[in-house]
């Protein structure tokens, strides 16, 4: 039997040196935003009972989860998501907390992607959950935290903002079942105009059908609202549009300009999201690095109904992008390499501590001779060698 001693499983990788430094830098900047906003860190177990993720609203297929059993034969999964375990935690260990609670996490999640197609099976994720409150103040807090988060690690970014209630209200006016509704939603989300038109052409023409047909093209700045009001006039989607417009206007003091985009074709799964939905993109990264929104029904699944909103950040993707930036260096080389002759080792170690305290990056050399130390410094490109004793 072949032994896999020198490779990692598909969809995973080792992170080395500069990669770790870049990840620490990215995570540190994001974590600072969370802490300054008053969010408290929590850590959930790496393995959970399968039941936590088998809820209809989870959107996580059982095929995408890594599964095992405990010594009682109960089905366990390696954590594929952080929001659901936090919902479990809030409904049990934090059920008597004063609301709202502000939580953040920094932990790996695991998804089994059989075809991979460039995706990872293990990735680091950071995010927040603002639980126990609804309304515009909570939504603005989550959105502005997301903006602060992405702007702390990138200058060239955009936030795409939508509302789950627009599509939900329009589709509820149609005489279709949930499967047909989901096919329409997927076509809109993928901006697959051909598939969308084929699905809608089979329905009785009405105001809602015409409005849904236009959703993928309602993308841009504030001008989108004028078109959307006209298209959705007289439908139940008007209240969601008005709320989204109010959110957009409240964000105007941030002076985001073209970095804030309204996308009414952004129709996330309606059995999970119940209000605003948003994604964040960084130039040079194809997939969204931030995704989130309001999900007020989730805690009801854990017998603790309350408002909830939050987002997750793909820190791995940002780290990989940061490593390609020419103007950023994550060299682990010290500025000074200290060599101590025999009998002066502690003196050398103390000098390293002193130099580091003064802001210089110093390192004590553990090689036995000065010649080896100088050769090592030359091969590593270390500019200065200090000799003690």
Kindly give the interhelix angle for 178-189 and 193-201, rounded to the nearest 10 degrees.
150
How does pLDDT run across 137-177, given as a tens digit for each residue? 999 999 999 999 999 999 999 999 999 999 999 998 988 88
What is the maximum alpha-carbon separation in the chain? 92
Contacts with 130 (C-beta within 8 Å, 6 or more apart), sequence order: 100, 101, 102, 138, 141, 142, 308, 309, 310
Could you tell me the two tokens for 301? Answer: 């699944």
Which strands form 47-49's sheet, in the order they lie side by side?
Answer: 47-49, 75-78, 67-69
Cα gap 16→166, rounded to integer Å? 45
Q: How confident is the model at residue 192 (pLDDT cuts 50, 70, 90)?
A: confident
Per-residue confidence band for 189, with pLDDT thresholds at 50, 70 and 90:
confident
CB 99 within 8 Å of CB 133: yes
How far is the CA of 287 from the CAs of 25, 32, 118, 284, in angstroms?
21, 24, 11, 9
Taking the whole predicted model, whether its pTM rises above 0.85 is answered as yes
Q: Which of 265, 288, 287, 266 is CA-nearest to residue 277?
A: 266
Q: From CA 346, how far away is CA 340, in angstroms rounded? A: 8
How many angstroms separate the Cα of 68 from the Cα of each of 55, 75, 77, 112? 18, 6, 6, 13
pLDDT > 70? residue 116: no
pLDDT (mean) for 52-61: 86
Q: Report all structural domains of the chain as residue ranges with CATH numbers, in order of start.
A: 17-322 (3.30.930.10), 336-388 (3.40.50.800)
Which residue shows structure tokens 């139940």? 236
* Residue 218 clears pLDDT 80, i.e. is over it: yes
pLDDT tops 80 at residue 227 = yes
Are the beta carbons of 12 and 122 closer than 8 angstroms? yes
Taking the CA of residue 122 as centre, how many other CA atoms within 13 Å lie in the half-sphere pointing to its CB?
12
Q: What is the pLDDT of residue 267?
A: 84
State the average pLDDT for the chain: 92
3-state SS assignment for residue 383: coil
pLDDT digits (tens, 9 = 90+) for 231-257: 988 888 999 999 999 999 999 999 999
**How far apart are the C-alpha atoms of 86 and 308, rounded to whole Å?**
11
pLDDT digits (tens, 9 = 90+) for 334-385: 999 999 999 999 999 999 999 999 999 999 999 999 999 999 999 999 999 9
């Amino acid at each position: 039997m072949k032994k896999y001693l020198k490779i990692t499983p598909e969809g995973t990788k080792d992170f080395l040196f500069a990669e770790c430094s870049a990840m620490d830098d990215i995570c540190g900047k994001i974590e600072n935003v969370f802490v300054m906003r008053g969010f408290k860190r929590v850590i959930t177990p790496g393995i959970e009972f399968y039941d936590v993720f088998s809820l209809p609203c989870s959107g996580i297929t059982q095929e995408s989860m890594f599964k095992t059993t405990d010594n009682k034969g109960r089905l366990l999964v390696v954590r594929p998501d952080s929001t659901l375990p936090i919902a479990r935690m809030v409904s049990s260990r934090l059920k008597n907390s004063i609301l709202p609670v502000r939580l953040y996490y920094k932990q790996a999640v695991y998804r089994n992607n059989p075809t991979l197609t460039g995706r990872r099976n293990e990735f680091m994720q950071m995010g927040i959950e603002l639980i126990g409150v609804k309304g515009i103040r909570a939504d603005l807090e989550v959105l502005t935290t997301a903006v602060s988060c992405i702007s702390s690690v990138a200058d060239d970014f955009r936030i795409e903002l939508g509302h789950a209630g627009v599509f939900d209200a329009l589709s509820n006016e149609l005489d279709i079942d949930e499967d047909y509704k989901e096919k329409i939603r997927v076509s809109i989300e993928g901006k697959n105009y051909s598939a969308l038109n084929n699905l809608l052409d089979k329905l009785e023409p009405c105001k809602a059908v015409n409005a849904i047909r236009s959703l993928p093209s309602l993308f841009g700045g504030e001008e989108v609202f004028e078109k959307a009001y006209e298209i959705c006039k007289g439908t139940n989607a008007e209240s969601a549009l008005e709320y989204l417009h109010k959110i957009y206007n409240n964000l105007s003091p941030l002076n985001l300009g073209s970095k804030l985009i309204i996308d009414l074709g952004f129709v996330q799964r309606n059995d999970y999201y119940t209000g605003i939905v948003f994604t964040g993109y960084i130039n040079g990264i194809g997939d969204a690095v931030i995704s989130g929104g309001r999900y007020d029904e989730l805690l009801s699944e854990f017998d603790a109904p309350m408002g909830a909103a939050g987002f997750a950040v793909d820190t791995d993707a940002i780290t990989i992008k940061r490593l390609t930036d020419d103007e950023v260096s994550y060299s682990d080389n010290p500025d000074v390499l200290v060599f101590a002759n025999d009998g002066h080792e502690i003196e050398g170690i103390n000098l390293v501590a002193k130099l580091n305290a003064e802001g210089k990056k110093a390192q004590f050399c553990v090689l036995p001779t000065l010649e080896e130390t100088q050769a090592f410094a030359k091969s590593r490109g270390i500019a200065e060698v200090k000799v003690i004793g």
